[in-house]
Structure 1
Amino acid sequence: MNRLFIVSLIVFLAACRESSAPHVAGQEELLTTAAPIAVKVVVVNMFELGEDEGDAAGEFQLWKERQQLSQRFAFPQSHHDLFLNPDTGVLGMVTGMGTNRSSSAIMALGLDPRFDLSKAYWLVVGIAGFDPEDASIGSAAWAEWVVDGDLGHEIDARELPQDWTTGIFPLFSQGPYPEKRPPNQGEVFHLNGKLTDWAYEFTKDTELPDDPAIAESRALFTQYPKAQLPPQILKGDNLAGMTFWHGQHLNRWANQWVEYWTEGQGQFVSSAMEDTGTAQSLFYLDRAGKADYQRLMVLRTASNFTVPAPGLSAAESLLHEGESYAGLALALESAYRVGGKVVDELVNNWSDYQHRLPYEE
């Protein structure tokens, strides 16, 4: 698929939307009561391509349509207005791309007096690049760990000392992967592992869509047995960074970086651009009594691989035009089928899950 085209289109349309789309009187639902709205689930998406309904879908559109998020709340302090289903208590938000936008959007929502988020579950759900060692396009991975790929030192690979394997190394260290791990400055966030396990077990048998074009393209990855399989649901951890990286060397670094910061407990599967920003803000909001960090879930689905197809260089893979990009639609559908099952379960059994987490007796 033409990954550069997708990313460029997303960035362009998101920028246009943010800078030029006015709030239209009559389309926004104004708050008419001082009592905050009790939210059951916050669905956190990162981008939308164009309109929120009726055109080519980004991450938000399927959720808005299928969860009937019809009540609009102006949210000028962030990237995109909020939409609520007042009957189910599901609130949808679009943070914008990157850890800077995700962190500011989550914090803005958490401090918004219109909503009571003290019992809300937070489902981060969006597309990502996947390591072909772990799964195929259209697959879905529940994360227990989210690791930041930006905080650190870096020198150009052409200037590496001869005994270094990478030019990216932790802050407050003197080289790659020191034996004593430096203090965590926001490089790693551990989610509620029991909730991750519950979400995985609850959804692992969900039927995922497939596509003949995707099946044909994944067959090229002969060195990666799992990349050739139909879409699947798994547990796997997320690396978040503002840079859209690609290639074998950086993929190797991503695996090592996640393993290092999780002290061997996490495994890199998905690469995205927002999740540590979201986790950081929810961590702070939890301390302020505004949200419950233990109710955060992260689900990413594979729209592309983090390495090139056999026979292509990293540059050719990233810049090549004319490929099918059907992986985007497949990943979006997988995201809704898997994540939607969890949202529906939480809402339909809210009398229980409001007071206890789903894995608790």
Structure 2
Amino acid sequence: MSPFQSTRFRALALSAAVGLNAGCASNMQPRPSEPVKVKVFVAAMFEIGQNTGDRAGEFQHWYERYWKGTTPVAVPGALQPVYCNADGVCGAVLGMGKVNSSSSMQAILLNPKFDFSQAYYVISGVAGTPPSRGTIGEVSWATWLVDYDLGHRWAPEENKAGEPTFMPRKGYEEYRRFKLNPDLVAWAMKLSAETPLKDSDSARAYRLRYPQAAARRAPFVGTGTHMTGDTFFHGPGMSSQAQYIAKLYGADDYVITEMEAAAVTLVIKRTHGTDRVMSLRGAVNFDQGNPRETTLQHLDPAPGETAGGFAETVENIELVGSRVVDHIVANWPQWQNGVPAR
């Protein structure tokens, strides 16, 4: 072999070795981790402070039950990170209001770190209730979600006395109301209706300011229409309008006023449908004052005149909701392909 041939041979051998090593290195690269297969996603709207160890908001009791010690997963576009446990239960704080919560939900649903193809959803949080239908500390599963805002409104003085001051706006028919899966609602009630609920002396005293039998009840688990609106409406007139809208849209009685569920559900509908969506709310206030106070007094109460029971209600929400979450996860083979027959 000539010196030229020897040099050329060594160069070819070196080139082949480099190529082989490069191929091995390429084959040894770690694969991207598989997305988390979400079985149940729990959405809260706000937390007061930390996720654990201080005064609880909407997320803390869920966090302490399912995600304490887990690693948060940052999601671009979402308000807060997502937490998941080994059982496929995930959750996050989405933010208050329709835009805040729905944009967070959209970002989470589209993130490739999660597989939502078989997921169930629990949209949870605190709410208000009309004293004719609910009470402080109660927990309600939605049968319908109705958007309070999509329409035309005008001042009562510009109308005939007693007539509605709301007219639906055409073009919103497909996303101003959602009938949630009745079989899923029935399952939720079957699993949670007998949950022992927390109560407080301050809530008991506050209920007695109202003459309605429903308002004076001890906390219970019920169902009905949840009304979604960015406006905190108060007073018997606005409450009656909410009931009017619910009936106008063919929904059940309005029992809960909240700010997010219809918007979050619309986002889920566009990607996965609504058959696996649940809305769970706990009442921490009435949507109007008692007969001895004006609406403004109800909105801006004097010290010591506020409704009690907030701490107990946020605990009640998790106590009720976790019964359903735990059942779905424990019986996943029966639930993964859809809501089973009861």
Q: What range describes the TM-score normalised by the shorter chain of this pair? A: 0.7 to 0.9
Runs of 4+ in 1 over 3 A off after TM superposition: 31-34
Alpha-carbon RMSD: 1.8
* % same residue: 33
What does 1:21-100 correspond to in 2, within 5 Å? 33-69=32-68, 70-85=70-85, 87-100=86-99
Structure 1 pair 32–214 and aligned structure 2 pair: CA distance change class (3 A): farther
Q: Deviations over 1:36-55 (max 9, x none)?
A: 11011100111111112211
State the secondary structure of the residue aligned to 1:293. coil
| One of 269, 278, 282 as aligned partner of 1:283 | 269
Partner of 1:213: 202
**Residue 193 (1) aligns with residue 182 (2):** yes
Partner of 1:316: 297
**Residue 230 (1) aligns with residue 213 (2):** no
What does 1:141-220 correspond to in 2, within 5 Å? 141-160=140-159, 162=160, 165-172=163-170, 184-220=173-209
Tell me the distance in 2 between the aligned counterparts of 1:166 and 1:352. 47
Contact 2:76 2:107 in 1 (8 A): no
Q: Deviations over 1:217-270 (max 9, x none)?
A: 101212x10111110111111000001111000001011111111x2x411000
Tell me the distance in 2 between the aligned counterparts of 1:205 and 1:192. 21
| One of 321, 336, 341 as aligned partner of 1:354 | 336
Q: CA deviation at 1:284?
A: 0.4
State the secondary structure of the residue aligned to 1:128. strand
Contact 2:126 2:284 in 1 (8 A): yes
Contact 2:145 2:228 in 1 (8 A): yes
Tell me the distance in 2 between the aligned counterparts of 1:266 and 1:356. 24
What does 1:66-145 correspond to in 2, within 5 Å? 66-69=65-68, 70-85=70-85, 87-145=86-144
Structure 1 pair 336–166 and aligned structure 2 pair: CA distance change class (3 A): same
Structure 1 pair 242–193 and aligned structure 2 pair: CA distance change class (3 A): same
Tell me the distance in 2 between the aligned counterparts of 1:41 and 1:299. 14
Q: CA deviation at 1:340?
A: 0.9
State the secondary structure of the residue aligned to 1:195. helix
Structure 1 pair 164–312 and aligned structure 2 pair: CA distance change class (3 A): closer
AA at the equivalent of 1:84: C
Structure 1 pair 164–304 and aligned structure 2 pair: CA distance change class (3 A): closer
Contact 2:206 2:307 in 1 (8 A): no
Structure 1 pair 183–128 and aligned structure 2 pair: CA distance change class (3 A): closer
Unpaired runs of 5+ residues, structure 2, are 1-29
AA at the equivalent of 1:353: W
Q: Deviations over 1:283-340 (max 9, x none)?
A: 1012xxxxx5211011111111111123110011001131244321121011011001
Unpaired runs of 5+ residues, structure 1, are 1-30, 173-181, 287-291
Relative to the length of structure 1, the TM-score reads 0.82
Aligned residues: 311
